[in-house]
Structure 1
């Protein structure tokens, strides 16, 4: 296949999304591997160019994918014309910015479902802003799952030193235990197995973290390993999946980095994300597995504290585009 067409959502207009979008799409490295277009607002992309001091790049405002130029001196934007710079202030949480960000995502989903784009890459949104706009979702992942009616999905994070997949996503820590079930953990193991088998062309070695210190120490520090996690692992083994655990959370990530496992199943968000970001900050990519199309994302937030200063680092977005392009080859 030729270069895949990838839709990049601009994210929250008040954040660093427009800046990292123009920096990434102006890069020859990205232009070489994919035909990217931004789904956003031309006015904020032009502001992103100005802030980033990028010259000799034209913003090509289009209404349909077929109008894209995909040329080195052009950034194509499927312009929803929904973010008024007079009403949306940089670095500020607002209902208008939250509404615009969700509209970019919904348009990208429409294009992916009609196969006009091959993958979606998302710049960051602000959860408080989308809640102000009336969207009661925890983030991109939950919107994508709801729109595509996907029941079995997970957040997977990809980096050179470590791959992680989460059994639960954005939950208060005190609620993690009651949301963990044998079926949820089994489905997460299966998604990891299916995704890596397709992408790498071989059965992966999967390590499953415990929830409690020392993976419960035989039930002394908690019963979840005995009652929930181990039964899920045993069931996965019966399905022919190469999986081990539960392994103490303070050891499993070192073991994975050392090559014992291809991916770690983490029980909750920070259990998996702290070691990942320690090893690969700005270089890890969020992949939503289980969807009917490819979706990757940056591993950072909207950067309201640095927006407008020209400091925004596009590396995570570039890595997300690279992963989307790579996954497109194995789809």
Structure 2
């Protein structure tokens, strides 16, 4: 099959448009399979960025009624959405907040109606979308709402390391109260099923971090492992899940332990992601689990400070596109 991948470049004043042009024109690595890449964006924005880079970008008409044909090098297929106001690199404009949301909605609806096989998202700026008058907490929550899904899981991946999060963007002081047996069971069930069905790992092995140093040291450094985490894991083990832990994070994130795991569940954002980004910075990606469609994303922000300078690293976007294509092909088998 030739997968049809929706690409949303994200915040128009950030590096997303630059990365989209580089994806089209810089030459894709040989290990990325052919696909139809459909940019959902303002055509003038992309052409202006291509001119800034001195690259001849061809924008091809997108016809969803036609079978997907692979997008040639130097081109993007285009589903046009117009900016509300001209975009200038590094200069946020809340007038374009609704433009960003429209690109995401078009992508989500296209995935839900099977026009697209997956969506790859560039970085957005949450603040400017909120300033435009629409509450927005992030891609993950937006796509969950579009799909009518109550619970999704954020997982980041770099090379052979996959790290999912039990909690995401909350203050550290709130993490303990946010971890419950129900929450852990939901997250681990979604992670287990996604590894089975999306990644085709028949019997996934999941390493689970403890919350406290030394995983609580038998209760002397905290009781969350004894009172919440271990009972939740035992319940899931009774349902057939292969769970390792809870282990201290500084033990679990070592090569011998990681060799035993297909994925790791970290209890909070900065417990797991520094390790992952150290291992694969510039090529790490974000994957949303629990949606009825495939969504991958870059692992970085809008980088307003370097927008328009032509120096943004497209490695994460290339990795996100490659992973989306691979997952779409696996789903089609």
What is the TM-score of this pair, normalised by structure 1? 0.93
Describe the shift of the 1:258–1:181 C-alpha distance in structure 2 as closer, same or farther (beyond 3 A).
closer
Mapped pair 1:132 → 2:131: yes
How big is the shift at 1:299?
A: 0.4
Q: Per-residue displacement from partner, 1:189-214 (whole Å, max 9, x unpaired)?
A: 11221122231332111100011111
Within a 5 Å distance, the mapping from 1:136-285 to structure 2 comes to: 136-198=135-197, 199-255=199-255, 258-285=258-285
Find the aligned partners of 1:54 and 1:94 in 2 and give their Cα distance.
26
Find the aligned partners of 2:215 and 2:129 in 1 and give their Cα distance.
37
Describe the shift of the 1:97–1:257 C-alpha distance in structure 2 as closer, same or farther (beyond 3 A).
farther
Find the aligned partners of 2:256 and 2:262 in 1 and give their Cα distance.
6
Preserved contact between residue 251 and residue 257 of structure 2 (Cα < 8 Å): no
How big is the shift at 1:59?
A: 2.3
Q: Per-residue displacement from partner, 1:99-125 (whole Å, max 9, x unpaired)?
A: 221111011011111111110100000
Find the aligned partners of 1:97 and 1:90 in 2 and give their Cα distance.
13
Describe the shift of the 1:221–1:14 C-alpha distance in structure 2 as closer, same or farther (beyond 3 A).
same
How big is the shift at 1:50?
A: 2.1
- Where does structure 2 lack aligned partners over 5 or more consecutive residues? none
Preserved contact between residue 85 and residue 96 of structure 2 (Cα < 8 Å): no
| SS class of match (2:244) | strand
Preserved contact between residue 42 and residue 61 of structure 1 (Cα < 8 Å): no
Q: Per-residue displacement from partner, 1:151-186 (whole Å, max 9, x unpaired)?
A: 121011122141101111111211212211111111
Describe the shift of the 1:138–1:256 C-alpha distance in structure 2 as closer, same or farther (beyond 3 A).
farther
How big is the shift at 1:135?
A: 2.8
- Where does structure 1 lack aligned partners over 5 or more consecutive residues? none
Find the aligned partners of 1:251 and 1:98 in 2 and give their Cα distance.
43
Find the aligned partners of 1:231 and 1:142 in 2 and give their Cα distance.
28
How big is the shift at 1:255?
A: 4.3
Instruction: Show the counterpart of 2:9.
Output: 10
Preserved contact between residue 145 and residue 153 of structure 1 (Cα < 8 Å): yes
Instruction: Show the counterpart of 2:291.
Output: 291
Instruction: Show the counterpart of 1:42.
Output: 43
How big is the shift at 1:275?
A: 0.5
Find the aligned partners of 1:15 and 1:65 in 2 and give their Cα distance.
28
Preserved contact between residue 193 and residue 204 of structure 1 (Cα < 8 Å): yes
How big is the shift at 1:83?
A: 4.3
Q: Per-residue displacement from partner, 1:21-40 (whole Å, max 9, x unpaired)?
A: 11113334487421111011
Off by >6 Å, runs of 4+ in structure 1: none
How big is the shift at 1:131?
A: 1.3
Instruction: Show the counterpart of 2:81.
Output: 80
TM-align CA RMSD: 1.9
